[in-house]
Amino acid sequence: MTDSSIQLGGVKLQGSVLAAPMAGVSDRPYRRLARIHGAALAVSEMISANPALRHSSESLRRTDHSGETGPISIQLLGADPLQMAEAAKFNVDRGANIIDINMGCPSKKVCNRRVGSALLRHEILVGQILDAVVSAVDVPVTLKIRTGWAPDQRNGVRIAKIAESAGVSALSVHGRTRQCKFHGPVEYQTIKQIKREVGIPVIANGDIDSPQKAKRVLEYTQADGIMIGRAAQGQPWLFGRIANYLNCGIDPGDPHPISKRDTLLTHLSELYLLYGNVNGVRIARKHVSWYTSAIGNVQVFRRRFNLIDKPDEQIEFVRRHLIGPEG
């Protein structure tokens, strides 16, 4: 077995498979399951650095890590160096062990505010933000980026060098530009080039959806680890499958259907606990859609589930019907 740990400044990750931050997905229930099932780190949903939003119910919920296994990584979104530095200090005081900076989100809403991947077009500002945040906190600072703004504007290598010079501890790179969003093939060549050019850990991200694909990407890019995003929606056990394959060369395959069902039931229970009954029932529907898609279940199950508006009835429906009464 090889040593798959990743050193992020003073924090050592016990593994090389990480759970990506995803808006509306990587909340506390998701992060807890990702860690239980083998992710070495599960980064929070992005949190605005705007001080006016710092104490909003949404921001406080996103920074609630009760019951989570460390290290705790909080992702910040913003374009003002001072606000980003202050937000980093605030979140370290609330228990963050790692501060992650979002320069990868491709959504139009985010980029119109000149944050997320829009910052890749402003290299001087990137350096100012990273310098400010690294100087403000005594925990590792990591950065998530794309390969550039557009296919003809791939500046990921320059951004990576700026990050290393600022003292960033690691870099996660999604192998698409902002213009590509989540469409078209992932381009891993830039990630490979970034790894050659910098001495800090580089994490490869983008369309890694199986243990075999993870190994191919690592071998090609020579990256230090991988980050799994959308592929793990509805199948948190994917983290463990990939980690086991990378460490031992053995893919244990998916868990038994009963285990899958029980994982979903745990996920639902934690959603109700975090969001309350009304919002928890609503949010549960998209997760059930992902779980049943990964399991290969039929549309009729999801349509019936989406008509249920009470937590206990959702739980009972899943328990009775997901794998059948004989399950």
Active site (catalytic) residues: 105
Which region, left, alpha or beta, applies to residue 108 given φ > 0 means left and ψ of -120 to 50 means alpha? alpha
Report cis status (omega within 30 of 0) of the bond before 211.
no
**For residues 151 and 180, is the Cβ–Cβ distance under 8 A?**
yes
The residue among 289, 267, 293 whose CA lies nearest residue 280 is 267
The burial of 124, by beta-carbon neighbours within 10 Å (0-12 exposed, 13-18 middle, 19 or more buried), is given as exposed
Collapsed DSSP state (helix, strand, coil) of residue 107: coil
Query: Which two tokens mark 64?
Result: 């609630």
Neighbours of 230 (CB within 10 A): 15
Distance of CA 86 to the CA centre of its chain: 23
SS3 228: strand
Report the C-alpha gap between 123 and 120 in whole angstroms.
Answer: 6
Contact indicator for 169, 121 with CB cutoff of 8 Å: no
Which of 246, 184, 199 has its CA nearest to residue 18?
246
Identity (one letter) of the amino acid at 161?
K
Q: What are the tokens at 274?
A: 């975090």
**Residue 203 three-state SS:** strand
